[in-house]
């Protein structure tokens, strides 16, 4: 334990060291700050507001939206984590095309690509001198290929930045666990990657870790890795298990509403700061701590801090459920709307979005993923191309000379608005050139001066009063807020709280393309159904079709609810000024006989009870997501379900739907048999259907049905045969298989 005089000496040493380290930086801001003992909360808050990104951190943040490519041994083994024992003979892309990756990534608006040069299985995508477990031992290009080299070159040609993921955990390398030897091995691999492939902008160190092949635990020499990077690639940020960029804390794609880039550093690291001889002392002090907390940098979190550091968030998420390519996930690429939602919740919450696009066994990004990306880009472009605030006259409650409010709508890259010193709240009032309709707000702080804004509101003038449209806490590099569309000529931005005089470099008001909502959103019905279409933009017209074709502005215009009397597919689009919006909405409706009740011979699993018995007769269909509460799950058992229609009815078709998602042990039934009965006692089989779809096929919802020539019956029974156990090729070979059912439709 330190005595108080000892603590004072320690602090003086630390501060002196900081000052000497930063003296060469002139007036440039530091990306760390030491808090002196006895500083008040106000002092600490001001200090936090002056911590700013290092040039490499600022440059990285400005890339906004970047790509990950998980490619390697796992792509060919159809797995997520290799054991390190895989044979290099399986690595053999059939039509490798790095230029295709780069084209797709650039067109999607991403500016940097990080490749998994080595994942946990230890297989290297470049011909490393330090192991045989690499492309050079594979049949691809007869062992003469270099994935890292070709991808780096393609990026350079296209003006895309390039980064490497190098897994510290290596399940193949024999020296792993023999700490000094593996540390040298790892540094050697880093040196290869950082010297032979041009400029590297990001080095990504994964936190996943376990024992080595020899059962020994590796002690990583992180500071020595950082030193190699600082020496060979000073422009590169070191992410995740590194001091420049932090993991946002989830792999969902959703960052925090309140996202501070300035975080408290933990006390014990100050000794490491003091010991560090590097220009950016934070390297020596780095320890990731708990990054999953909801709050990382509020006043509450920094009030007892000993040091503060600029440590911004990166949000990594895959376009599919897995990080690596699996054909079974081809239908599970996130939709354009989902990707847009993720964009708002990451880039729009002061974070960089790192979206993974896993190339397939050909060595190309699949059309499924490209379709989603193109759809996403179209929506974002339609939204953000025109800033409806441009041309506005802006009145600020306070302006610092040389930093007028007009700077927030100027295109100039470094101009920004701020107030006189020590002002902690302010208002900017925008008089727009004319009435405008908008539903998105974009704010950017001038983060080269630090992150300051703690609370803000957007209001629009509604004729006689101000109406609040949206509220937020932090802004940081970029904040995007969505709210229902409003039309007004006057808006104001109220900054209610700022750590010190607030800054803004950009303010934008935008209108997203209108989308159509169909209500109800599909399902089955008994006699007729009224279907309503609406748009989130009152000014837009809605066009629709009922025959499955794609609607255009030449299709039927929606004016009143549609009376659906037979099985129908409704597709609708909104159009504004003759332009059809990017998003198509669709819903399928099936006319059927309503079952009064259903009885199962054996119960469904308590783990997947959907919404109870009625799940399979409620008119709503299960999606491709087995957790969506529309599915009933049966583990190892057959399903025998009897439906009571209440009275004898003429039947011409019976359909039952199943899900296949073999990655989750869910298989289609091998056979489905259909029966009918007038009394529920004596049954007559009316048809059967065997499964013809391959068990290796991607995720699908498949209907089994039986067509009958209008026979009357009160009861219907469907018996579905569970395949029982996972086949030999499956990773759960011999385990019980699941049957997931929804829904039974009697027509």
Pick the closer one to ligand FUL by CB: 207 or 566: 207
Pick the closer one to ligand FUL by CB: 84 or 476: 84
Pick the closer one to ligand FUL by CB: 80 or 221: 80
CB of 290 to ligand FUL, least distance (A): 16
Of 316, 330, 429, 586, the one binding ligand FUL (CB under 6 A) is 316
Give yes or no for residue 206 binding ligand FUL (CB under 6 A).
yes
Alpha-carbon distance of 494 to 458, in angstroms, equals 6
Choose the binding region for ligand FUL from 36-44, 206-214, 435-443, 533-541 (rule: CB under 6 A): 206-214
DSSP strand E in 250-369: where?
A: 262-265, 307-310, 313-318, 351-356
Pick the closer one to ligand FUL by CB: 240 or 347: 240
Place of tokens 């959103």: 521
Of 2, 12, 208, 685, the one binding ligand FUL (CB under 6 A) is 208
Pick the closer one to ligand FUL by CB: 80 or 97: 80
Choose the binding region for ligand FUL from 47-55, 202-210, 383-391, 703-711 (rule: CB under 6 A): 202-210
Pick the closer one to ligand FUL by CB: 116 or 540: 116
Place of tokens 């895959």: 318
Alpha-carbon distance of 26 to 435, in angstroms, equals 47
Choose the binding region for ligand FUL from 27-35, 200-208, 457-465, 691-699 (rule: CB under 6 A): 200-208
CB of 325 to ligand FUL, least distance (A): 13
Pick the closer one to ligand FUL by CB: 143 or 207: 207
Q: Show the CA angle centred on residue 620, arms to residues 676 and 681, nearest 5°.
A: 20
Pick the closer one to ligand FUL by CB: 318 or 505: 318
CB of 250 to ligand FUL, least distance (A): 12
CB of 169 to ligand FUL, least distance (A): 8
CB of 449 to ligand FUL, least distance (A): 32
Q: Site map for ligand FUL, 148-187, x if CB under 6 A?
A: ----------------------------------------
Three-class SS string for 142-184?
Answer: HHCCCHHHHHHHHHHHHCCEEEEEECCCCCCCCCCCCHHHHHH
Q: Site map for ligand FUL, 640-659, x if CB under 6 A?
A: --------------------
CB 423 within 8 A of CB 497: no
CB 139 within 8 A of CB 89: yes
Lookup: tokens for 445: 């702080």
Give yes or no for residue 292 binding ligand FUL (CB under 6 A).
no
User: In Å, what is the CA distance from 572 to each residue of 377, 521, 522?
Assistant: 20, 12, 13
Give yes or no for residue 344 binding ligand FUL (CB under 6 A).
no
The length of the chain, given as a count of residues: 747
CB of 472 to ligand FUL, least distance (A): 29
Alpha-carbon distance of 442 to 454, in angstroms, equals 16
- CB-neighbour burial class of residue 272 (10 A; exposed 0-12, middle 13-18, buried 19+): middle
How many residues lie near ligand FUL (CB under 6 A)? 6
CB of 206 to ligand FUL, least distance (A): 5
Q: For strand 568-576 and strand 579-580, is the pairing parallel, antiparallel, or unpaired? A: antiparallel
Lookup: tokens for 131: 């192991």
Choose the binding region for ligand FUL from 32-40, 201-209, 599-607, 705-713 (rule: CB under 6 A): 201-209
CB of 264 to ligand FUL, least distance (A): 25
Give yes or no for residue 121 binding ligand FUL (CB under 6 A).
no
Give yes or no for residue 323 binding ligand FUL (CB under 6 A).
yes
Q: Site map for ligand FUL, 71-110, x if CB under 6 A?
A: ---------x------------------------------
Lookup: tokens for 520: 């109800």
Alpha-carbon distance of 297 to 731, in angstroms, equals 43
CB of 347 to ligand FUL, least distance (A): 18
Pick the closer one to ligand FUL by CB: 207 or 548: 207
CB atoms within 10 A of CB 216: 14
Find the helix packing angle between 222-232 and 179-196, rounded to 10°. Answer: 20
- CB-nearest residue to ligand FUL: 208
Alpha-carbon distance of 35 to 286, in angstroms, equals 17
Pick the closer one to ligand FUL by CB: 121 or 459: 121
Choose the binding region for ligand FUL from 204-212, 390-398, 422-430, 487-495 (rule: CB under 6 A): 204-212
Pick the closer one to ligand FUL by CB: 318 or 642: 318
CB 620 within 8 A of CB 525: no
- End-to-end C-alpha distance for the chain, whole angstroms: 80
Letter string b/e over residues 398-412, b meaning 16 or more CB atoms within 10 A of that residue's CB: bbbeebbbebbbeee
CB 32 within 8 A of CB 308: yes
Pick the closer one to ligand FUL by CB: 250 or 387: 250
Pick the closer one to ligand FUL by CB: 206 or 496: 206
Ordered DSSP codes for 189-231: HHHHHHHHSS---EEEE-------TTSPPP---HHHHHHHHHH
Pick the closer one to ligand FUL by CB: 351 or 446: 351
Lookup: tokens for 639: 């399903």
| Bridge partner list, 717 | 642, 675
- CB-neighbour burial class of residue 339 (10 A; exposed 0-12, middle 13-18, buried 19+): buried
CB 113 within 8 A of CB 356: no
CB of 313 to ligand FUL, least distance (A): 15
Find the helix packing angle between 98-107 and 367-384, rounded to 10°. Answer: 30
Of 724, 721, 716, 711, nearest to 745 by C-alpha is 716
Q: Site map for ligand FUL, 381-410, x if CB under 6 A?
A: ------------------------------
Q: Which positions touch ligand FUL (CB under 6 A)?
A: 80, 206-208, 316, 323
């Amino acid at each position: 334990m330190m005595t108080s005089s000892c603590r004072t000496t320690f602090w003086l040493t630390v501060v002196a060291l900081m000052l000497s380290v930063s003296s060469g930086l002139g007036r440039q801001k530091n990306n760390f700050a030491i808090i002196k003992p006895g500083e008040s909360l106000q002092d600490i808050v001001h200090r936090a507001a002056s911590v700013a990104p290092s040039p490499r951190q600022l440059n990285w943040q400005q890339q906004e939206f970047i790509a990950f490519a998980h490619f390697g041994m796992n792509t060919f083994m159809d797995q997520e984590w290799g054991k390190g024992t895989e044979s290099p003979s399986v690595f053999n892309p059939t039509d490798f095309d790095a230029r295709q990756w780069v084209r797709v990534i650039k067109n999607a608006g991403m500016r940097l690509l990080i490749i998994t040069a080595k994942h946990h299985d230890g297989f290297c995508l470049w011909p490393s001198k330090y192991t045989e477990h690499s492309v050079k031992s594979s049949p691809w290009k007869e062992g003469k290929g270099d994935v890292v080299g070709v991808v780096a070159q393609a990026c350079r040609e296209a003006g895309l930045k390039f980064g490497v993921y190098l897994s510290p955990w290596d399940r193949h390398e024999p020296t792993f666990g023999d700490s000094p030897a593996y540390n040298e091995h790892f540094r050697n691999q880093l040196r290869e990657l950082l010297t032979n492939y041009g400029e590297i902008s990001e080095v990504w160190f994964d936190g996943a870790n376990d024992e080595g092949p020899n059962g020994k635990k590796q002690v990583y020499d992180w500071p020595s890795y950082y030193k190699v990077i600082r020496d060979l690639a000073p422009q590169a940020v070191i992410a995740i298990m590194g001091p420049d960029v932090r993991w946002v804390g989830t792999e969902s794609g959703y960052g925090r509403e309140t996202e501070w880039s300035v975080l408290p550093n933990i006390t014990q690291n100050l000794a490491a700061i003091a010991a560090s001889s590097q220009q950016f002392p934070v390297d020596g002090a780095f320890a990731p701590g708990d990054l999953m907390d909801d709050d990382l940098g509020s006043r509450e979190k920094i009030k007892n801090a000993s040091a503060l550091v600029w440590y911004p968030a990166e949000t990594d998420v895959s376009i599919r459920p897995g990080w690596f390519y699996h054909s079974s996930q081809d239908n599970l690429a996130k939709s354009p709307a989902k990707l847009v939602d993720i964009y708002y919740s990451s880039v729009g919450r002061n974070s960089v979005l790192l979206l993974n696009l896993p190339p397939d066994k050909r060595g190309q990004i699949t059309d499924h993923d490209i379709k989603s990306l193109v759809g996403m880009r179209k929506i974002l472009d339609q939204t953000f191309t025109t800033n409806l605030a441009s041309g506005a006259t802006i009145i600020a409650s306070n302006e610092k000379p040389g930093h007028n409010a007009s700077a927030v709508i100027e295109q100039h890259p470094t101009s920004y608005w701020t107030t006189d010193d020590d002002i902690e709240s302010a208002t900017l009032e925008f008089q727009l050139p004319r009435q405008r309709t908008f539903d998105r707000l974009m704010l950017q702080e001038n983060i080269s001066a630090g992150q300051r804004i703690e609370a803000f509101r957007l209001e629009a003038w509604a004729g006689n009063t101000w109406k609040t449209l949206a509220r937020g806490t932090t802004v940081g590099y970029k904040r995007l807020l969505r709210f229902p569309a409003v039309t007004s000529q006057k808006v104001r931005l109220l900054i209610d709280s700022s750590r010190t005089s607030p800054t803004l470099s950009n303010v934008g008001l935008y209108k997203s393309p209108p989308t159509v909502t169909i209500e109800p959103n599909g399902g089955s019905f008994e006699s007729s159904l009224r279907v309503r279409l609406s748009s989130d933009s009152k000014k837009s017209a809605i066009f629709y079709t009922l025959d499955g074709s794609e609607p255009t502005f030449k299709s039927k215009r929606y004016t009143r609810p549609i009376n659906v009397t037979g099985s129908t597919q409704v597709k609708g689009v909104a159009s504004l000024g003759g332009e059809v919006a990017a998003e198509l909405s669709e819903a399928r409706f099936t006319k059927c006989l309503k079952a009064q009740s259903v009885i199962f011979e054996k119960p469904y699993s308590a783990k997947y009870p959907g919404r109870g018995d009625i799940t399979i007769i409620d008119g709503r269909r299960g999606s491709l997501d087995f957790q969506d509460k529309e599915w009933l799950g049966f583990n190892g058992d057959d399903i025998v379900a009897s439906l009571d229609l209440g009275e004898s009815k003429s039947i011409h078709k019976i359909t039952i739907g199943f899900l296949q998602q073999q990655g989750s042990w869910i298989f289609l039934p091998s056979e489905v048999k259909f029966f009918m009965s007038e009394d529920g006692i004596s049954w007559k089989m009316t048809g059967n259907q065997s499964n013809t779809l391959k068990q290796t096929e991607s995720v699908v919802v498949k209907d089994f049905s039986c067509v009958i020539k209008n026979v009357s019956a009160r009861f219907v029974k469907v018996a579905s045969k569970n395949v029982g156990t996972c086949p030999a090729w499956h990773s759960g070979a011999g385990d019980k298989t699941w049957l997931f059912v929804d829904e039974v439709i009697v027509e």
